[in-house]
Amino acid sequence: MIKKAKNNSPVNKLIEQRWSNRAYSPKEVEDEKLNSILEAARWAPSAFNEQPWRFIVGKKGDSNYDKILSTLVEWNQKWAGNAGVLILNITKNNFSRNNKPNATNEYDLGQAVAFMSLETVNQGLYGHQMTGFDAKKAAEIFNISDEYTVVSVIAIGYYGNPEELPEDMLDSEKAERIRKNIDSLLLN
Amino acid sequence: MIKKAKNNSPVNKLIEQRWSNRAYSPKEVEDEKLNSILEAARWAPSAFNEQPWRFIVGKKGDSNYDKILSTLVEWNQKWAGNAGVLILNITKNNFSRNNKPNATNEYDLGQAVAFMSLETVNQGLYGHQMTGFDAKKAAEIFNISDEYTVVSVIAIGYYGNPEELPEDMLDSEKAERIRKNIDSLLLN
Nearest to B11 among A104, A119, A151 (CB): A119
Task: Look up the pTM and report it.
Answer: 0.98
Q: Residue B188's pLDDT is what?
A: 80
Mean pLDDT of all residues in A156-176: 95
Mean pLDDT of all residues in A133-153: 98
Say yes or no to pLDDT of B10 above 90. yes
Q: What is the C-alpha separation between B126 and A39, in angstroms, rounded? A: 21
Nearest to A187 among B5, B56, B111 (CB): B56
Confidence of residue A82 (pLDDT cuts 50, 70, 90): very high
List CB contacts (< 8 A) between B185 and chain A. 38, 41-42, 51, 53-55
Min Cα separation B89/chain A (Å): 10
Mean pLDDT of all residues in A161-175: 95
Q: What percent of chain A has pLDDT over 90?
A: 97
Which CATH superfamily is A40-167 part of?
NADH Oxidase (3.40.109.10)
List CB contacts (< 8 A) between A12 and chain B. 14, 40, 118-119, 122
Confidence of residue B2 (pLDDT cuts 50, 70, 90): confident
List CB contacts (< 8 A) between B44 and chain A. 114
Q: Residue A84's pLDDT is what?
A: 98
Q: Residue A188's pLDDT is what?
A: 80
> Nearest CA to B14 among A62, A29, A96, A115?
A115
Q: Residue A1's pLDDT is what?
A: 81
Euclidean distance between the first and final Cα of chain B, in Å? 38
List CB contacts (< 8 A) between B90 and chain A. 187
Confidence of residue A107 (pLDDT cuts 50, 70, 90): very high
Min Cα separation B17/chain A (Å): 10
Q: What CATH number is given for B26-162 in this structure?
A: 3.40.109.10
Euclidean distance between the first and final Cα of chain A, in Å? 38
Rg (CA), chain B: 17
pLDDT single digits (tens) B145-177? 999 999 999 999 999 999 999 999 999 999 999
Min Cα separation B74/chain A (Å): 16
- Taking CA–CA distances from A47, the nearest residue in chain B reads B131
Q: Residue A152's pLDDT is what?
A: 98
ipTM beyond cut 0.95: yes
Q: Residue A37 belongs to what H/E stretch? A: helix A31-42
Min Cα separation B182/chain A (Å): 7
A24: β partners: A159
CB count in 10 Å sphere of residue A82: 20
A107, B64: Cβ pair inside 8 Å? no
Q: Residue A48's pLDDT is what?
A: 97
Nearest to B107 among A51, A148, A152 (CB): A152
Mean pLDDT of all residues in A28-44: 98
pLDDT single digits (tens) B59-95? 999 999 999 999 999 999 999 999 999 999 999 999 9
B107, A107: Cβ pair inside 8 Å? yes
